[in-house]
Amino acid sequence: MPKPNYLGEFELLVMLTVIRLGEGAYGVPVSREIERQTGRDVAFGTVYATLERLQKKGFVRSTLGDATPERGGRAKRYFRVTAAGLRTVRETKRSLVRLWQGLPELEGGVA
Amino acid sequence: MRRSHAIANWLFERLGFDMALTGDLLEECARGRSAIWYWRQVLIAIWIGIWGAIRDHKLLALRAVATGCATNYVFLLLWLRFLDPLPNPGSMASIVHWIPGLSIILLTQSATGWVVARTHRAQPVPMVLVFVIWLLLWDVYDNVSTVRMLMVRPLLVDSINQPGILRYLALYLAPMFVTVAGILVGGILGASPKGQLSAAADPRGQ
């Protein structure tokens, strides 16, 4: 039986953001979207390190876009979630939902 | 700001970072981010990159320490064989011996840093830093032992108020600073710009 893959908290945030952004997912919008959705300050280096780790695991793949003058001639690196990545996000969600269920302290929306 | 970008690019290239990251940072600066924000992002990226490289390559880190120690041992043997009339670098008591002694330390330690970087081409800068950290820890351990010994003999307490203590402290600490500077300079010279990390390995996508 294959060992199930789970994502860490920040990995899950990055995966969900890449899925949400679709074809426009590169460093800047990914960082901004995470900041917007979570309200926390996100370092670009952290996002890139996480994306690199996810790529090594085969959960995302990347392609280089065109270089632009405002980026000092550096190309954008676009990220897309792979089928294995989508499966892993679903597995992680299922695990979290199972853990969530049956906890009276977390029901009713009152902290 | 242009100079900042050039320095950051130079560092990122030697650390093997994905250069798309520098493009992203420039893009944000063009939208009004400050120089402080830019350098904070650069330093965080460097810290994450170096720490990640050390964490992912523990055996390579051990090998870097062993390589650095072995190279230094060779230099120590050469020092004892050919430069015996010069005092040991840690105990250079005279300014006459200071300049040539420190120059030799700078030269040999640059060579050590270069050797460590060239023998660990996959992660040159992180491995050179591992060796520097190990050397500093060893030096601190060595110095703490010496200070304890001197405290027992009350030599240190007596000498703190003596005239010329600062000169002796400078003579004592300078070799350590020159050692670190030499290793870092040699390491950076030995670390040729790398291909980008795996994220950038294949421009056609993975």
pLDDT at res. B87:
55
Q: Which residues of B touch A24 (CB under 8 A)?
A: none
Contact A80, A54 (CB under 8 A): no
- CA A9 to chain CA centroid, nearest Å: 9
- Residue B50 has what pLDDT? 86
Same domain, B52 and B62: no
**Which residues of A fall within a CB distance of 8 Å from B17?**
48
The larger pLDDT score, comparing residue B143 to residue B9, is at B9
Question: Considering CB atoms only, which of B5, B27, B198 is closest to A70?
Answer: B27
Q: Is there a single domain that holds both residue B41 and residue B17?
A: yes
In a domain, B95, yes or no: yes
Among candidate residues A4, A33, A29, the one with its CA nearest the CA of residue A79: A29
Q: Do A77 and B200 touch (CB under 8 A)?
A: yes
pLDDT higher than threshold 80 for residue B159: no
Q: Do B20 and B64 lie in a common domain? A: no
**Chain B neighbors of A71, CB-CB under 8 A:** 23-24, 26-27
Minimum distance, in Å, between the CA of residue B76 and any CA atom of chain A: 40
A45 to chain B: closest CA residue:
B45
Instruction: Give the list of residues 6+ apart from residue A94 with CB closer than 8 angstroms, or none.
Output: none
- Please classify residue B142 by burial: count the beta carbons closer than 10 Å to its beta carbon, then call 0-12 exposed, 13-18 middle and 19+ buried: exposed
Q: Do B24 and A26 touch (CB under 8 A)?
A: yes
Q: Above 80 in pLDDT, residue B206? A: no
Indicate the residue type of B23.
G
In this structure, what DSSP letter does residue A107 have? S
Instruction: Examine residue B41 and state whether it is found in any structural domain, yes or no.
Output: yes
What the block records as the tokens of A61 is 């793949």
The reply to whether B103 and B113 lie within a common domain is yes
pLDDT digits (tens, 9 = 90+) for A53-111: 999 999 999 999 988 888 888 899 999 999 999 999 999 999 999 988 888 887 766 54
**B106-133 tens-digit pLDDT:** 999 999 999 999 999 888 888 999 999 9
Please check whether residues B168 and B132 belong to one and the same domain. yes
| Residues B67, B123 within the same domain | yes
C-alpha distance from B120 to closest chain A C-alpha (Å): 21
The answer as to whether B109 is a domain residue is: yes
Q: Is residue B71, in this structure, part of any structural domain at all?
A: yes
Q: Say if B201 falls within a structural domain.
A: no
In this structure, the answer to whether residues B73 and B173 fall within a common structural domain is yes
Overall domain count for chain B = 2
Confidence of residue B91 (pLDDT cuts 50, 70, 90): low
Percent of all residues in chain B with a pLDDT value above 90, rounded to a whole number: 34
Question: How confident is the model at residue B9, as a pLDDT?
Answer: 85
- Could you say which architecture CATH assigns to the domain A9-99? Orthogonal Bundle (1.10)
- Taking every pair of C-alpha atoms in chain A, what is the biggest distance, in angstroms? 55
Query: Which value does ipTM take for this structure?
Result: 0.85
Residues B31 and B78 in one domain: no
**CB-closest option in B5, B30, B52 to A70:** B30
Alpha carbon of A1: minimum distance to chain B alpha carbons (Å): 26
**B47 and B65 both lie in a single domain:** no
pTM equals: 0.72
Residue B114 domain-assigned (yes or no): yes
User: Are both B111 and B170 inside the same structural domain?
Assistant: yes
Question: Which residues of chain A have a Cβ shorter than 8 Å from any chain B Cβ?
Answer: 26-28, 31, 43-46, 48-49, 51-52, 55-56, 61-64, 67-68, 70-77
Pair B12, B19: CB distance under 8 Å: yes
Q: Tell me whether residues A48 and B25 touch, CB distance under 8 A.
A: no
The domain in which residue B51 lies consists of 2-56
Residues B62 and B52 in one domain: no
Same domain, B77 and B178: yes
The predicted pLDDT at position A106 comes to 79
Q: Is B204 exposed, middle or buried (0-12, 13-18, 19+ CB in 10 A)?
A: exposed
